[in-house]
Structures are given as C-alpha cells and as structure tokens.
Amino acid sequence: MGEGGTAGGHVSDLAATVREPRWVEHVIWWQVYPLGFVGAEPATEPATETVRHRLDQIAGWLDYAVELGASGMALGPVFASGTHGYDTVDHYRIDPRLGDAGDFARLIRAAHDRGLRVLLDGVFNHVGRDFPAFRRVRELGPSAPEAHWFRLTWPEDAGPGTEPEYVTFEGHHGLVALDHAQPAVADYVTDVMSHWLAAGADGWRLDAAYAVPPRFWAEVLPRVRAKHPEAYFVGEVIHGDYRQIVLDATLDSVTQYELWKAIWSSLNDRNLFELAWALDRHNALLDTFVPLTFVGNHDVTRIASALTDPRHLPHALAVLLTVGGTPSIYYGDERAFHGVKEHRAGGDDAIRPAFPAEGPSGLAPYGRPVFRLHQDLIGLRRRHPWLHRARTRPLHLANRLLALEVTCGEHRLVTALNLDDDPAELEIPGVDRVLAGDAAVHDQGTPAARVTLPAHGWAVLADRDPLSRAG
C-alpha cells in the first residue's frame, strides 16, 4: 500500500493524486517486443499451431537486463494472436510462436529471482477476427451468444454465415473493436487481468487505452486491484488531457508521448525552449501521477535514428534519466540500434528486430559505449530514487543551452545541455562535482560556482556528495 493510500496504494480521485504501488518508485523498465525479439514467424500456423518454446530465449537475456541496470521487464504481447500480437485470439493462452504456460511460468520465476518485475501488454480495446467469440458471430449470425460483445451492423434477414459490418480499431479490418458498454466484456477483461496477475505478472500496460471509454477502466481496475492490490496499470495514451484520463480511468499512469516528442524534436531543432515548455507541463502532471517516460518504444522510430546529430544521443538519455517519471528503455536502444518506423504493411519490422539467439555474446561490440552510458545514467538514477517524482526548472535557457535544476524536497541535481558548436560557461551556484558527462566546475560549492561545458557537451552535476543525497 502506498503511503497515505487506500487498498492497492490508491486514494480517492477527489484527492487528485494517484498513489501508485510503492515498488514502482524504483522501477526502470527494459521493454521487449517478444515476437520480434525471438525472430518469430510473422503469422501463426493455424493448421498445426506448433508450439515453439522461445520464451527461454528471453529468459537468457535477463542477466543482461540486470547488467544494464533495469529492475523490470515490460513485455509486448505474449498471448495467442494471428500476426503481430495485437490481434489477440486467446487471452488465456501463450502465443504458440513463443511457447506455452510452462515457458511463461519459468520466465516469470527467472525474472523474479533476479529482482525484475514483469509488466504484460494487454490488448483489450479490440481482438483479432479469429477470436472465438467473433468467429461464432461469423458462423451463427445475430444468434451468436457473444454478438453483443461487438459493435455490429447487420444486413436485413441476416442469418447463420452472414458477416456483419463492425467497428474496427482505427480502420484496420483485422482488428475488431469490443463493445465496452457491455458488462460481459468488463467481466471478461477483469478475469483475464486477474488470471495473469495470479500467474506472477506484476502489472499491465493497457494497449490503446485512449480508445477505450475511461468509465470501462474505472469499472474493471478496482475489481482487479481488490484481488491484486500491488498491481500496476499504465495506459497507452498519445494525445489528450493525461491528468484527467488517469483520474477518470483510475489508472496509475499513462505514456508520456508529449515529452518523448519534445526531447528528440528540441535536440534536432536546437530549440531547448520546446523541451523546457514540455517539462513545465510535465511538472504539472507529476502533481497528480508519475508518467511512464521513454525515448523509444515498439511504435516509434528509434532514438538513434530520430536524432539528426548523433552527438546528442547522450543529451536525450540524460533528460530521460534525470527528470521525474518511470523510465523505460526499449531493447536495442541501449546499443544505439537504428530503425525507422514506416506507415505501411511491415513498417514496424525495422524497429522490432530479433536479438541474437545465442545471447549477449552475439551483439556487435560497437554498441558497447552506448550500453555503458546507459549503465552510468541508470546507476545514477537508482542511487537517487527521489528523481521518480522530481520537478524541474530552468536555471539557464537559450535555444542551444539549458541548465535544468532537478529537485525533490531537499534533494537537488542539475542537468546541463549544450547543443552549440562552441563551449559554454554557466553560473550554477553551489555545484561542486560532475556525476555524469563532461564538464569542468570552477569555484566548487560556492555561490560563484561556474560550469564549463564543451561543444555539444552535457553533464549531470551535484552540489554535494551524491551519496549523501541518495534516497
């Protein structure tokens, strides 16, 4: 139970403050898209559905995740589906391209043995066309027992074998939208969530949460929390009023796409005013809940490809890992993988690649420096868990120069970014040491302290021994 919270670590919406489970404060997710990670076939084999025991491949990378510094693994879809995992056909069965329930249980045990939490990806806005309830609709017509689960339009004199028109997810014919006004759908989703939490999962990422009425989540999530009070629920939300969505839906968090965009866009445009503006809005969100922060995921161009100047990759990571939020690292980003998202069939393939089946030894060595950078910044964050709820304010702000004060109570760090071709000198009173990055500090620890950043340099600075500020 979170401090000051009710069952499940939550308080009333009237308090306008979300009390997430306490363990989330210490989580740094390593996000994996399983079907891509293991090199699974692009579609299932409906005739045989041969089980390929590939979840063990992911288990073989858990020590790598620990070495990186992650304390949780966020899994993409693992349930039986037709193609990419987001066209679910059976929420109670592991996708045969990945394995079976036994493989999943071993993965959960192996993760927990290493102190890694596990977040599952729940696709509850829509299902695949071969979802059994919808298959019965296609076979039996309007008399199908689950016809009310979907938003259907029937032709006149419809009977068995008649296929209705149906609401889809964003126009995708293979993704059939559920009717979230139906109690049977709420019961089904509640049971699925509870089933896998009982099997050892620690929480859920709710895919396309923005497309589901918040009142549906507000009905389902309290029922799930009643059985699993320490579960964590984060909704995929791209646009809109993040705060109000969290409160109305009773979520713990949502994805912070606004900050994601501002990070790479401000670095590319050398317009750090955009980043400062987004962080000001981010501060306001932190008054209510802690967003899930990221610079890459399974749906967007990789950060190493998004940045026009590779010298600014450390700047993006420094922001991600020193501002408030629950950070997530997308697999491969820690090695500066490249990949461009394309809006076409197969356009996600480049950002969802296979990792070497033989394990970390199969990775190319040239990604090691970026891996080490991630380790350094993740280690810094884990030594300063107060950063989870930290607020920021600019001490110096120009198009190409930003000194960002990061505080929570008496704790303080400063993240400084220089996007210019020339060195920069800043007055930052009180700082006396560099925790990460490259900078020179003059008159350390005094009101006249100055910091020199090299061209395209960055640094995280402290005003006293960082160990004295940990916790």
Q: Are residues 446 and 303 in the same domain?
A: no
Among the candidates 359, 389, 419, a domain finishes at 389
Report if residue 305 sits inside a domain.
yes
pLDDT digits (tens, 9 = 90+) for 18-54: 999 999 999 999 999 999 999 999 998 766 678 999 9
CA–CA gap between residue 120 and residue 162 (Å, rounded): 35
Residue 77: which domain range? 13-389
Q: Tell which phi-psi region holds residue 281, choosing left (phi > 0), alpha (psi between -120 and 50) or beta.
A: alpha
Q: Are residues 343 and 426 in the same domain?
A: no
Strands in 108-188 per DSSP E: 117-122, 126-128, 152-153, 165-166, 168-169, 172-177
Q: Are residues 97 and 151 in the same domain?
A: yes
Q: Are residues 264 and 279 in the same domain?
A: yes
CATH number for the domain that contains residue 88: 3.20.20.80
Q: Are residues 77 and 21 in the same domain?
A: yes
182 has a pLDDT exceeding 90? yes
**How do strand 458-462 and strand 152-153 relate by DSSP bridges?**
unpaired
Q: Are residues 414 and 381 in the same domain?
A: no
CA–CA gap between residue 126 and residue 81 (Å, rounded): 12
Q: Are residues 305 and 437 in the same domain?
A: no
Report if residue 206 sits inside a domain.
yes
Report if residue 8 sits inside a domain.
no
Report if residue 7 sits inside a domain.
no
469 has a pLDDT exceeding 70? no
Angle between helices 242-249 and 214-227 (to 10 degrees): 50
CA–CA gap between residue 256 and residue 277 (Å, rounded): 14
14-18, 278-282, 331-335, 375-379: segment of lowest average pLDDT: 14-18
* Average pLDDT value for residue range 128-136: 97
pLDDT digits (tens, 9 = 90+) for 247-284: 999 999 999 999 999 999 999 999 999 999 999 999 99
Report if residue 3 sits inside a domain.
no
* Average pLDDT value for residue range 312-336: 98
**pTM of the model as a whole:** 0.94
Q: Are residues 374 and 403 in the same domain?
A: no
Q: Are residues 447 and 463 in the same domain?
A: yes
CA–CA gap between residue 128 and residue 378 (Å, rounded): 38
Bridge partners (DSSP) of residue 205 are 121, 234
Q: Are residues 182 and 286 in the same domain?
A: yes
The number of domains in the chain is: 2
Q: Are residues 414 and 280 in the same domain?
A: no
468 has a pLDDT exceeding 90? no
CATH number for the domain that contains residue 441: 2.60.40.1180
**How do strand 168-169 and strand 172-177 relate by DSSP bridges?**
antiparallel
Provide the pLDDT confidence category of residue 5 given band limits of 50, 70 and 90.
Answer: very low
Q: Are residues 238 and 369 in the same domain?
A: yes
14 has a pLDDT exceeding 90? no
Among the candidates 354, 389, 424, a domain finishes at 389
* Average pLDDT value for residue range 223-231: 98
* Average pLDDT value for residue range 119-146: 97
